[in-house]
Structure 1
Amino acid sequence: MILDLLFPNRCIHCNRIIEGDLLICNLCFDQIHFTHFDYFEENPLKEKCKLLFPVQNTYALMHFEKENISRKIIHELKYRNREKVGKVIGEWVNERLDFRDNKPDILASVPLHPKKLKERNYNQLHLFTETLSQFHHIPFDHTLIKRNEYSKAQALQDKKNRLENQNLFSITKDTSGKHILLIDDVFTTGNTLTTIAWELLNQDNKISILVMAMDT
């Protein structure tokens, strides 16, 4: 109680004091640029993915534009040691995404290299994935995908270096014949998801994609 008075929870965008379990105030929440994509229909994310690998369904919660609120939210999650932001974003997805009678078999998130995991102390996608799993009753597997090499962010690499990262990820177990929902934070170039998707497709799986935000 005393700590709440001394260090009240504040909106990450406008700095207003808000309830302790919230991330953003109602006024700023209304400014978030949600995509309103339909998971089962054609959408801009699906169009981009189809150019890179065979994909079943796709969903992005927010647009990831320069200086917008979604960028602040994800930066809080990844770089400000606020792992619980992943749960909040997961709850927003749960309010908007209905798998109906076509649920994937497994939820699998993009892994961090052990060195990066040690630096950050958590994978920013794990709590998000677990929140989706609990709500939709779909199992998750945090160990299905392994990152083999420590490397800088894909978005910072030039094309030549990205092409050299063909063995960046590996699949740790046989998942043949499964429909796997591959989860990441932001879709930018699609290189990371493409590398993982082809590893899973080579095991005769079907792939769908879910991201917190899509870079426009």
Structure 2
Amino acid sequence: MLLDLLFPNRCLHCNQIISKDDLVCEICFSHINFLHYNFSEENELKNRCKLLFPIENAFALMQFEEEALSRKIIHQLKYRSQEKVGEILANWTIEKLRFDTNKPDVLVTVPLHPKKLKKRGYNQLHLFADTLSKNWDIPHNKEFLKRNTYQKAQATKDKSHRLETQYNFSTTENMDGKHFLLIDDVFTTGNTMNAIAWEILKNKNNKISILVMAYDG
């Protein structure tokens, strides 16, 4: 209680004092560019993915914009040790994403290399996915994907160099006939999703859908 008085929670954008469980104030929340995708219908993200790999459905919560609040939110989650932001983003996602049909069987998250995981202290996607898993009653398999190579953070590269990056992922077990919901923070070039999708789709009975916190397109 004393810490709350001395160091009150403040809006990420305007610095106004807000509830300890919130991320932004009501006014700033209204400025977030949410994407109103229907998971089971065509949308821009799904069409981008179709150029790379076979996909069932796709959903993005926000539009990622360089000078906008969505960028601040993602950076708080990834680089400011604010893992709790993942839970808040998950609750926003739950409000907006409905599985009318074709509900996935399992949630999988893009893995960090062990070196990066040790440095950051947490995978920024795990609390997000765990919150979704509990609400949707879909298991979250944290260990299914493995990152085999250590790469610089995507935020430190321009887009031309991101396109050149070769990712190296593998799966840790054989799962057959499953519909995977692959989760990442930001979809930019699609390189990461593409590499992982084809690993999962080595089993022709598997299917892939995509969920990202933000779409940079």
Query: How much does 1:161 deviate?
Result: 4.0
The equivalent of 2:199 in structure 1 is 199
Cα separation, 1, equivalents of 2:36 and 2:164: 34
Q: Does 1:18 align with 2:25?
A: no
The equivalent of 1:112 in structure 2 is 112
Query: How much does 1:50 deviate?
Result: 0.2
The equivalent of 2:189 in structure 1 is 189
Q: Does 1:178 align with 2:181?
A: no
Is contact 1:55-1:208 (8 Å) kept?
yes
Cα separation, 2, equivalents of 1:8 and 1:161: 44
* 1:109-146 Cα distance to aligned partner (Å, 9 max, x none): 00000000000000000000001100110011000000
Is contact 1:154-1:191 (8 Å) kept?
no
C-alpha spacing 1:8/1:187, structure 2 compared with 1 (3 Å): same
Could you say what the CA RMSD is over the residues aligned between the two structures, in angstroms?
1.3
Query: How much does 1:160 deviate?
Result: 7.4
**Pairing of 1:75-90 with structure 2 (within 5 A):** 75-90=75-90
Give % identity: 60
Is contact 1:111-1:145 (8 Å) kept?
yes
The equivalent of 1:158 in structure 2 is 161
Is contact 1:154-1:192 (8 Å) kept?
no
The equivalent of 1:37 in structure 2 is 37
2:140 counterpart letter in structure 1: F
Cα separation, 1, equivalents of 2:161 and 2:33: 29
- What 5-or-longer segments of structure 1 have no aligned partner? none
Is contact 1:146-1:172 (8 Å) kept?
yes
**Pairing of 1:132-143 with structure 2 (within 5 A):** 132-143=132-143
Q: Which runs of 4+ in 1 moved over 2 A?
A: 153-162
* TM-score, normalised relative to structure 1: 0.95
2:161 counterpart letter in structure 1: D
2:63 counterpart letter in structure 1: H
**Pairing of 1:35-74 with structure 2 (within 5 A):** 35-74=35-74
Query: How much does 1:177 deviate?
Result: 1.0
C-alpha spacing 1:142/1:63, structure 2 compared with 1 (3 Å): same
Query: How much does 1:100 deviate?
Result: 2.6
* TM-score, normalised relative to structure 2: 0.95
- What 5-or-longer segments of structure 2 have no aligned partner? none
Q: Does 1:212 align with 2:188?
A: no
The equivalent of 2:95 in structure 1 is 95
Is contact 2:107-2:181 (8 Å) kept?
yes
